[in-house]
């Protein structure tokens, strides 16, 4: 399996990245990002609402320096928050995030939620992309009706829709809709977060035993074999390392079907 996917504008995006939602600003986030880069991650996903963009930026610099890597070898995503959308501050918010991250450009900028005014925000994001400040633009938590609204206000289609997705919330219908629209699907909270027991599900743990893998690796591999981009979060070095070791095994069709059968339409996020 290729480790990157080509978005609908031709930009190559890694399939697995580090998510940093609820990672504490400061050393915790800085180390997680640095460790991820050292472990081979080439995508970091944050958001203005997480309150840790400065720490993510420091971790990026630490990781790139430690690995002798260049900026263009890393894919960085952040997101536009709801209040900025409502206030019409898309461009200002973008440059504030860029400054906190300490970067000259972004690889992907997402509308975090379809808050009131998202159509206008999208038009401003298109301009930022056209000016070269961001390589790709997309959305998060959008339903088809929101995507239809964007289509009415702009000729530029989102490159990706990032949504909550895990075996207990499989999102099969939405994933098919995104595929039909030529949008990549990104999975946030792919392991269900701390409030979800999906990694302790008997089917997941049984398949993990069959594959001699961790439950997290089984779920992340399920993401990949369904064509999703996934951003597991961890601040523990050993788990960060383990979560990217998903390219050297494959789930059988039967195992995929068993995991697909776990869907409960159960959300752990909003």
This prediction has a pTM of 0.97
Taking 90 as the threshold, does the pLDDT of residue 16 lie above it? yes
Q: Average pLDDT, stretch 254-267? A: 97
Given the residues 50, 105, 109, 133, select the one marked as catalytic. 50
- At residue 136, the pLDDT reads 98
CA-CA distance, 168 to 267, in Å (whole number)? 8
- At residue 46, the pLDDT reads 98
Contact 179, 171 (CB under 8 A): no
Q: Does residue 109 have an active-site annotation?
A: no
Q: Average pLDDT, stretch 67-71? A: 97
pLDDT band of residue 263 (cuts 50, 70, 90) is very high
pLDDT band of residue 193 (cuts 50, 70, 90) is confident
Q: What is the pLDDT of residues 94-105, one digit of tens each?
A: 999 999 999 999
pLDDT band of residue 195 (cuts 50, 70, 90) is confident
Taking 80 as the threshold, does the pLDDT of residue 157 lie above it? yes
Please state the three-class secondary structure of the chain as a single string: CCCEEECCCCCEEECECEECCCCCCCHHHHHHHHHHHHHCCCEEECCHHHCCHHHHHHHHHHHHHHHCCCHHHCEEEEEECHHHHHHCCHHHHHHHHHHHHCCCCEEEEEECCCCCCHHHHHHHHHHHHHCCCEEEEEEECCCHHHHHHHHHHCCCCCCEEEEECECCECCHHHHHHHHHCCCEEEEECCCCCCCCCHHHCHHHHHHHHHHCCCHHHHHHHHHHHCCCEECCECCCHHHHHHHCCCCCCCCCHHHHHHHHCCCCCCCCCC
- At residue 196, the pLDDT reads 82
Q: Average pLDDT, stretch 133-154? A: 98
pLDDT band of residue 199 (cuts 50, 70, 90) is very high
Taking 90 as the threshold, does the pLDDT of residue 205 lie above it? yes
Taking 90 as the threshold, does the pLDDT of residue 144 lie above it? yes
Taking 90 as the threshold, does the pLDDT of residue 194 lie above it? no
């Amino acid at each position: 399996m290729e480790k990157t996917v080509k978005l609908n504008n031709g930009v190559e995006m890694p399939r697995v990245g580090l998510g940093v939602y609820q990672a504490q600003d400061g050393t915790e986030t800085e180390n997680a990002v640095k460790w991820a880069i050292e472990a081979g991650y080439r995508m970091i996903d944050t958001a203005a609402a997480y309150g840790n963009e400065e720490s993510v930026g420091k971790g990026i610099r630490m990781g790139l320096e430690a690995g002798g890597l260049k900026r263009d070898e890393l894919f960085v995503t952040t997101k536009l928050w709801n209040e900025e959308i409502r206030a019409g501050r898309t461009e200002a918010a973008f440059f504030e995030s860029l400054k906190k991250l300490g970067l000259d450009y972004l690889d992907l900028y997402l509308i975090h939620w379809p808050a009131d005014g998202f159509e206008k925000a999208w038009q401003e994001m298109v301009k930022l992309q056209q000016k070269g400040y961001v390589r790709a633009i997309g959305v998060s938590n959008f339903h088809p009706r929101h995507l239809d609204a964007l289509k009415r206000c702009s000729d530029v289609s989102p490159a990706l829709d990032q949504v909550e997705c895990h075996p207990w919330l499989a999102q099969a219908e939405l994933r098919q809709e995104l595929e039909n629209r030529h949008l990549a699907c990104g999975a946030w909270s792919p392991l269900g977060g701390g409030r979800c027991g999906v990694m302790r599900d008997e089917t997941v743990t049984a398949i993990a035993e069959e594959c001699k893998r961790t439950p997290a690796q089984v779920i992340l591999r399920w993401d990949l074999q369904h064509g999703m981009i996934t951003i597991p979060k961890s601040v523990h070095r050993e788990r960060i390392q383990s979560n990217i070791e998903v390219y050297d095994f494959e789930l059988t069709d039967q195992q995929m079907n068993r995991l697909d059968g776990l869907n409960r339409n159960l959300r752990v996020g909003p």
